[in-house]
Amino acid sequence: MNPPIAVAVYGAAGRMGQALLRAVHERSDVQLAAALVREGSAFAGKALAQTLGDAAPDLRYAAALDAAIEGGVLIDFSGARGFDAALALALARRLAFVSGSTGLAPSQLAALDAAAAMIPVLWSANFSLGVALLTRLVRDAARALPAWDCEIIEAHHSRKLDAPSGTALALGRAAAAARGQDFDAVAALARTGEQAARSEGQIGFAAVRAGDIVGEHTVLLATAGERIELTHRATDRAIFARGAVAAARWLAGRPTGRYTLDNVLFS
């Protein structure tokens, strides 16, 4: 049997970070090498057992990656504010890079492409297997019904910082690509007042922020007299963590390049 793949989690103090630590611990083919938090974090120096229970690995939260750790994968869910440092660390240590950080600026997305020349990189707005399949269905539906109106509605918990969600934007880009459209030219990220009317070929977005909603996405295709709604609802944040860890295991040892969750699921 091959030895387990070393995995470092960047942004380990957050809700997704905690879920990732648990997901890594559940598997025998990966091994937690580091739980990384920002400088000055209240978690720094604490034993993982203090937050994850007695079954947690015998490690402490740290603000820096141990110099002895080589190879493996860095998983980043630190958000747009932590993303640059996470990617820089992966490049400096030549670690495969898996990221689910959303709300990234165009320059940060471009940095992923540049990094892929030096390390294997896999970024996804959503690591749910169901969302990966939904994206395929959206492509097919948008291509088959190019004249139908396309609207994307997403709902998340009240503390989510970015809107529309990264997953909603990825679904919109999939629909636009399937129709041969320039996404930036047809996307309506918000509608207010006199700007609410649709224009032909537009892909519209609506965002809901309420309570503790984990994540819901609906792609609505409508024309006169009928409509199709493709919906995915997540009820447990652990599904994203499990998907990210599965992607990390798959990515380890791959050649340099840019990969997608489609590669993990359907290659």
Annotated catalytic sites, by residue?
Answer: 156, 160
**Which two structure tokens, joined as six digits, stand for 199?**
């224009």
Least Cα distance to 82 among 28, 12, 172, 155 occurs for 12
Least Cα distance to 115 among 98, 132, 127 occurs for 98
CA 110 to chain CA mean position, Å: 16
Residue position matching structure tokens 């959206």 = 138
Q: Residue 245 in contact with residue 7, Cβ under 8 Å? A: yes
Specify the DSSP element, H or E, that contains 99: strand 96-99
Least Cα distance to 4 among 245, 255, 266 occurs for 245
The phi, psi pair for 83, rounded to 5°, reads -60, -45
Specify the DSSP element, H or E, that contains 228: strand 226-234
Burial 173-195 (b: 16+ CB within 10 A, else e): bbbbebbebeeeebbbeeeeeee
**Which two structure tokens, joined as six digits, stand for 3?**
């030895």
C-alpha to C-alpha distance for 104 and 101, rounded to whole angstroms: 7
Specify the DSSP element, H or E, that contains 80: helix 80-93
